Amino acid sequence: MKKIVIMIAAISILGASCKNEVKGSKPKMKTGVDSVSYALGLSIGKKLKESGFNEINYNNFSSGIKEALTKDSAYGFKDEAVGKIINDYITQLRVKTAKENKDASTKFMAEKKKDASYKSTSSGVLYKVITPGNGPSPAITDTVNVHFTIKNPKGKILQDTKERGAPIEWPVNSSNMLPVFPEMLTMMQRGSTYEFIIPSELGFGQEWAEPNAAVVFIIEMY
């Protein structure tokens, strides 16, 4: 929420008034203000979308921006109410999204269980071997070199450690990852690549970008 407020507040730096645009018209980039205005709109829109704001009243949104730029007081809402309104709405969105993700993840897991290429651990994590390893399996007290690729059930990549370059060192029993991670890592062999599908109840819960969603990990161990 802080990022959203900061981005919206940044518009006031321009000191330019909002103008009505024909719906669907191509924005004109004649001046620096034209370009930065459009760039700010794209940036704010992406942040809003990432936060779950897929439905916006554009007239009210434009009016709010225009009032912030042209008035010092007498806004439609008192300053102290703005944060509460945004927070309350985000909470409602996350509750709705969490339920939708939970339902979708349950269906996703059920479909994957029908796939004979996947097996299940005792905890309920699904896995399959993409590339067999030729080295030993790590002990719970070991530190391994790995790459993680994290995806949501739709296949969208949420994080990929390969973007950082070299594999990362990771203690098998690290407390900075999900409780099922030691089980997952100790069943791998050095040189192997596994795909793990973690059900929502064993995943990140509501404390991440996609609350209550199942999560797919592709782990390469070196």
pLDDT in tens, 187-207: 999 999 999 999 999 999 987
In words, the CATH class of domain 99-221 is alpha beta
* Token output for 51: 């936060």
pTM of the model: 0.74
Q: How many CB atoms lie within 10 A of CB 198?
A: 26
Q: Which residue has the tokens 């409780």?
A: 179
Per-residue b or e along 83-106, where b marks 16 or more CB atoms closer than 10 Å to that residue's CB: eeebeeeeeebbeebbeebbebbe
- According to CATH, where is 3.10.50.40 located in the chain? 99-221
Pairwise CA distance, residues 58 & 209, whole Å: 25
* pLDDT-based confidence at residue 141 (cuts at 50, 70, 90): very high
Paired with 25 in beta bridges are none
DSSP string, 157-174: EEEEGGGGSSPEEEETT-
